[in-house]
């Protein structure tokens, strides 16, 4: 066999017995050997670029940048499946919530992380991270009432759960940067019905109180009107009494006397019954 043919044969043999995988920019690669004495996870993190490997080797890539993911009941976000978290309160009631997670992978711990979980990026996020977060939420919520979970202590719940997840996953190279509540905590149906009943009762009580105030104001107005009318009637009765009439007659007579000029009448006509008097000026 000529030297040229030998080179071609050797190249073909290499091509059929090796593989070539590209590690994308921003990712770290993990090489896993499936056969031979070196089977298992290679402790060297593959850099960006092409890498050649044997036929029984698999390459897994993990992003080294921040990943933002939402676990939500909305099928148009995150996964088409319902990924909301269900949390049990101290009374045994279930509250639900949607959460956003910002996370990343620590480059130097990628081989050990894969060796522990044997899962790729999506599975680690949707299984490992989610399970850790669910456990942390339920452990924390077990000491809270349903009302505290969706109102006064929801921030405390999230902060404590975040700290627990970080402590659980950070040693294995999974960095939880932040966990945020999307929207509000959804209380159980029984709590919603109780709240609606409470609001309705408060509204009815307020309505009755307003009606009572209106009735009280109308009553005071009616009393005032009746009092005014009674006083007017009293004054009218006083005005029509004989004593008052006599007093007015005397007042009028006194006024006439005051205006008289002292001259007596100059002409008297008629008899005693029909006497006419004509006075001077």
Average pLDDT, the chain: 81
20-50 pLDDT, tens digit per residue, is 888 999 999 999 888 765 578 888 899 888 8
State yes or no: pLDDT of 16 exceeds 50: no
Sequence-separated contacts (24+) of 147-151 with Cβ below 8 Å: 147/187, 147/191, 148/89, 149/87, 149/89, 149/95, 149/185, 149/187, 150/95, 150/184, 150/185, 150/186, 150/187, 150/191
Query: Which CATH fold would you assign to the domain 67-187?
Result: Tetrahydropterin Synthase; Chain A (3.30.479)
Length of the chain: 281
State yes or no: pLDDT of 132 exceeds 90: yes
Contact at 8 Å (CB) between 101 and 132? no
State yes or no: pLDDT of 237 exceeds 60: yes
What pLDDT score does 281 carry? Answer: 46
Q: Please count the other Cβ atoms lying within 10 Å of the Cβ belonging to residue 152.
A: 11
Average pLDDT over residues 130-151: 94
Q: Name the CA dihedral angle for 209, 213, 214, 219, rounded to a multiple of 10 degrees.
A: 140
Contact at 8 Å (CB) between 124 and 117? yes
Q: Could you tell me the residue ranges of all domains in the chain?
A: 3-63, 67-187, 194-240
């Amino acid at each position: 066999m000529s030297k040229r043919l030998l080179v071609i044969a050797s190249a073909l043999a290499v091509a059929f017995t090796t593989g070539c995988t590209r590690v994308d920019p921003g990712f770290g690669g993990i090489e896993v050997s499936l056969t031979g004495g070196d089977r298992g996870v290679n402790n060297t993190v593959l850099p960006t670029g092409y890498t050649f490997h044997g036929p029984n080797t698999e390459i897994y890539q993990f992003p080294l940048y921040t990943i933002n993911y939402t676990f939500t009941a909305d099928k148009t976000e995150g996964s088409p499946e319902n990924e909301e978290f269900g949390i049990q309160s101290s009374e045994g009631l279930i509250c639900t919530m949607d959460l956003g997670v910002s996370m990343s992978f620590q480059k130097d711990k990628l081989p050990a992380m894969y060796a522990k979980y044997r899962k790729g990026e999506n599975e680690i996020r949707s299984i490992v991270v989610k399970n850790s977060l669910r456990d942390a939420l339920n452990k924390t919520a077990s000491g809270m009432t349903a009302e505290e979970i969706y109102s006064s202590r929801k921030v405390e719940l999230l902060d404590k759960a975040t700290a627990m997840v970080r402590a659980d996953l950070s040693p294995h190279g999974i960095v939880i940067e932040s966990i945020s509540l999307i929207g509000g905590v959804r209380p159980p149906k029984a709590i919603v019905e109780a709240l609606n009943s409470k609001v309705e009762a408060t509204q009815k009580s307020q309505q009755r109180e307003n009606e009572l105030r209106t009735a009280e104001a109308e009553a005071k107005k009616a009393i005032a009107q009746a009092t005014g009318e009674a006083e007017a009637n009293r004054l009218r009765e006083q005005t029509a009494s004989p004593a008052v009439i006599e007093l007015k007659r005397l007042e009028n007579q006194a006024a006439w006397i005051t205006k008289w000029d002292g001259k007596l009448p100059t002409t008297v006509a008629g008899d005693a019954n029909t006497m006419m008097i004509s006075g001077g000026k």
